[in-house]
Amino acid sequence: MIPAPERMLSDLIRLDTTNPPGNEFKVARYLKEIFEAAGIDYEIIESEAGRANFIARLGSGSRKLLFLSHSDVVPAGEGWDYDPFSGEIADGVIWGRGALDCKGLMAAQVNAVLRLAKEAAALNGTLLFAATADEERGGGLGVRYLLENCPEKIRADFVVNEGGEGPRRINGRQIYFVQVGEKGTAWSKLHAGGYSCHGSVPNLGDNAVLKMARALNSLAGYQPEIRFIPEVRFLLQELLPLKGLNEPLTETNVDVFLDSLEERSFAETLRAMTRLTISPNTITGGSKTNVVPDSCTAGVDIRILPGQDRDYVTGELRRLIGGEIEIEIANFVAPTFTTSQADPYRLIVEATQEIAGADVLCLPHISPGATDSRFLRAAGIPAYGIGHMAREADPELGATIHGKNERIDLASLHFRADFFLTLAKKYLC
């Protein structure tokens, strides 16, 4: 008997895999029992003690489809209505850390694999399932480790992972989104220097904090160049008529459109898809209140679009803050992208419409943030992200990801399981 996805999700939530330390072996051990009972081949690969990656295979053949999810979760924090590791099922909702990110996706994928195996359908290829470690802390012990040490175990024609925006209803039209790319990161450190003196005679010194304050004020007024990659242009152009704007999308009207959207989080996510973003988020300087500081450092979160690189970032920063501040790009990850003009994307759309209804609109997008898909795309493996939910799902649920009271409704969990089963059949049967 196949366990219901809500029962699996409840069980998975009760396995505390907060990262750090991770302890993803708890999930691997749980999945081992399920896949053994179903007679499905699997293996567990530990990147470090307790940091386990679980991989299962169904079928054989040259075609390969990978369902990917991650086992670790972020810390729960306080203020929950239910114990964040209880997996409580109440009023048609499963509560707990990981319900949406990403154990709910995992439970849906496992359910689809088990149902496909039970149907004993002849597969024209291999369905892979991977529950990996360490996504919430950079993926070094999970997907990146697998690609560096045993890439053949997860290499596939295409991958379906987390990362898609949750569905929205705009002027009566139900819209589902498919993530086809992710912005890159160019996390930077800005260093200002000066020289110290007593705080009672500050003009004898050179205050590094004031230098940094002037630089950060310049960053606060930054007006980035607007760029539309083709998929984002298509996404926005399809949304315009739903708000009564029957005109071509341009750099001058895009913000007018975005400002017209009622849901601010959605509007700002779309805005971030059209430009580089700069967010100064940390600052350190000075040692005592009565000592003029001779150094100050700011940490700046910078996210870049496809087509933008280190030189572009450095040039923009230098133009804004001048030559007095030292710029260090401390962590650079290039943007990654998978085309929507390909059969896998069309299959994802077809599977979505088969489950949600032929009247739904499916649109591509890129994510301002990052998932493990960036490693796969960099390795030449097409990757797509979904955030599918049932039509009737509360759109506010998405705001609980990484927040308190994270939860998913039963209807959405079953919707996802049906989507994955349908997609697997379309590609492998």
Each residue of 39-55: pLDDT tens digit?
Answer: 999 999 999 999 999 99
The whole-number pLDDT of residue 301 equals 98
Q: What is the pLDDT of residue 284?
A: 98
Question: Which of the listed residues 311, 333, 355 is the one where a domain comes to its end?
Answer: 333
Check whether residue 327 and residue 297 sit in a common domain. Answer: yes
pLDDT category of residue 59 using cuts at 50, 70 and 90? very high
Per-residue pLDDT tens over the stretch 284-309? 999 999 999 999 999 999 999 999 99
- Answer yes or no: do 75 and 124 share one domain: yes
Q: Are residues 185 and 280 in the same domain?
A: yes
Residue 32 sits in the same domain as residue 75? yes
| CATH number where 276 lies | 3.30.70.360
Question: What percent of the chain has pLDDT above 90?
Answer: 96
Q: pLDDT band for 337, please (50, 70, 90 cuts).
A: very high
The pLDDT of residue 243 is 87
Select from 307, 333, 359 the last residue of a domain.
Answer: 333
Instruction: Assign 336 a pLDDT band (cuts: 50, 70, 90).
Output: very high
Same domain, 105 and 142: yes
- Give residue 27's pLDDT band: very low, low, confident or very high (50, 70, 90): very high
Whole-number pLDDT of residue 121: 75
Both 50 and 172 in a single domain? yes
Average pLDDT over residues 128-157: 98
Q: pLDDT tens digit string along 247-298?
A: 899 999 999 999 999 899 999 999 999 999 999 999 999 999 999 999 999 9
Q: Which domain holds residue 170?
A: 5-178+337-428
Do residue 319 and residue 386 come from a single domain?
A: no
pLDDT surpassing 90 at residue 120: no
> pLDDT digit string (tens) for 359-398?
999 999 999 999 999 999 999 999 999 999 999 999 889 9
Q: What is the pLDDT of residue 404?
A: 97
- Same-domain check for residues 90 and 186: no
> pLDDT per residue over 214-242, tens digit each?
999 999 999 999 999 999 999 999 999 99
Same domain, 193 and 282: yes
Among residues 312, 333, 354, the one where a domain terminates is 333
Q: Give the CATH number, domain containing residue 47.
A: 3.40.630.10
159 and 68 fall within a common domain: yes
- Residue 37: band (very low, low, confident or very high) from pLDDT cuts 50, 70, 90: very high
Same domain, residue pair 289 and 243: yes
Total domains in the chain come to 2
Long-range contacts of 319-322 (CB under 8 A, 24+ apart): 320/215, 320/218, 320/219, 320/222, 321/190, 321/215, 321/218, 321/219, 322/215
For range 328-356, the mean pLDDT: 97
- What is the structure's pLDDT at 246? 85
Q: pLDDT tier at 1 (50, 70, 90 boundaries)?
A: confident
Q: Are residues 232 and 350 in the same domain?
A: no
pLDDT value, residue 334: 96
